[in-house]
């Protein structure tokens, strides 16, 4: 075979390899909402499970992280539901402070159950502009029983200039929605008294700690 024919066959062979590859779409990178959840929740799990830190240090660092990535004011207003509009500014402020302490304790309680596990982002969906649901699984490296991993979902809003978490869903139950129902029932029984709800949240928070 002449050198010219050999080079021609090599060119044709390379073309046959490259043309099919050109039709394969590139793997898309994780969305900003997915990356936000993956990075920060894994960081929170790492903090809660860090044996080098004292219990107080773990609690302090986790709270600092959670308050950075969660829009507590938005969630607090949501959980008050119909009672938010009638509440005075002082009552709303007192509730927001109590709700923040309560939420940190609740989130820490949820995530501490998954000591040693890692978070795997499975995907996300967009429900509205700047409103995403990020689906994750908690992966237990020591589970060899074939049980399906627990699904933990995060609602992420991006309309505040940076991503923030506004709700947490565990096994299909959304925390903020459940809290809104619980708080509404409590306020209904207590004549809409926000101060009574604030006192109740303080007591519940103590039990979590």
Q: What confidence score (pLDDT) does residue 99 get?
A: 96
Domain ranges of the chain: 32-208
Structure tokens at 127: 């429900």
How high does pLDDT run on average in the chain? 83
State which of 50-59, 104-113, 186-195 shows the largest mean pLDDT. Answer: 186-195
Over the stretch 50-92, which tens digit does the pLDDT of each residue have? Answer: 889 898 888 889 889 999 999 999 999 999 999 999 899 999 9
What SS3 state is found at 2?
coil
β pairing state of 118-128 and 164-170: unpaired
Q: What confidence score (pLDDT) does residue 1 get?
A: 53
Task: Assess contact for 61 and 37: CB atoms under 8 A.
Answer: no
Q: What confidence score (pLDDT) does residue 27 get?
A: 32
Sole residue written with tokens 């609602």: 155
Inform me whether the pLDDT recorded for 2 exceeds 50: no
Task: Assess contact for 198 and 94: CB atoms under 8 A.
Answer: yes
d(C-alpha 152, C-alpha 169), whole Å:
6
Structure tokens at 134: 């990020």
Inform me whether the pLDDT recorded for 103 exceeds 80: yes
- Topology of 32-208 in CATH? Nuclear Transport Factor 2; Chain: A, (3.10.450)
Over the stretch 22-50, which tens digit does the pLDDT of each residue have? Answer: 333 333 347 899 999 999 988 888 888 88
pTM for the predicted model, two decimal places: 0.77
């Amino acid at each position: 075979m002449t050198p010219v024919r050999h080079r021609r066959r090599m060119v044709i062979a390379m073309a046959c390899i490259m043309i099919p590859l050109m039709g394969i779409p590139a793997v898309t990178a994780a969305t900003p909402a997915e990356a936000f959840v993956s990075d920060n929740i894994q960081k929170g799990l790492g903090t809660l499970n860090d044996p080098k830190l004292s219990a107080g240090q773990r609690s302090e660092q986790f709270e600092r992280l959670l308050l950075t990535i969660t829009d507590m004011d938005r969630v607090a207003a949501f959980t008050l539901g119909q009672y938010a509009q009638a509440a005075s500014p002082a009552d709303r402020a007192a509730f927001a402070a109590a709700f923040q302490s309560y939420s940190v304790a609740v989130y820490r309680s949820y995530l501490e159950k998954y000591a040693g596990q890692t978070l795997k982002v499975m995907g996300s969906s967009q429900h509205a502009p700047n409103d995403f649901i990020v689906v994750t699984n908690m992966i237990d490296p020591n589970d060899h029983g074939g049980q399906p991993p627990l699904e933990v979902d995060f609602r992420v809003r991006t309309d505040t200039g940076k991503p923030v978490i506004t709700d947490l869903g565990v096994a299909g139950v959304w925390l903020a929605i459940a809290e809104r129902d619980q708080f509404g029932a409590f306020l209904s029984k207590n004549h809409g008294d926000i101060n009574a709800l604030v006192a109740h949240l303080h007591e519940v928070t103590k039990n979590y700690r």
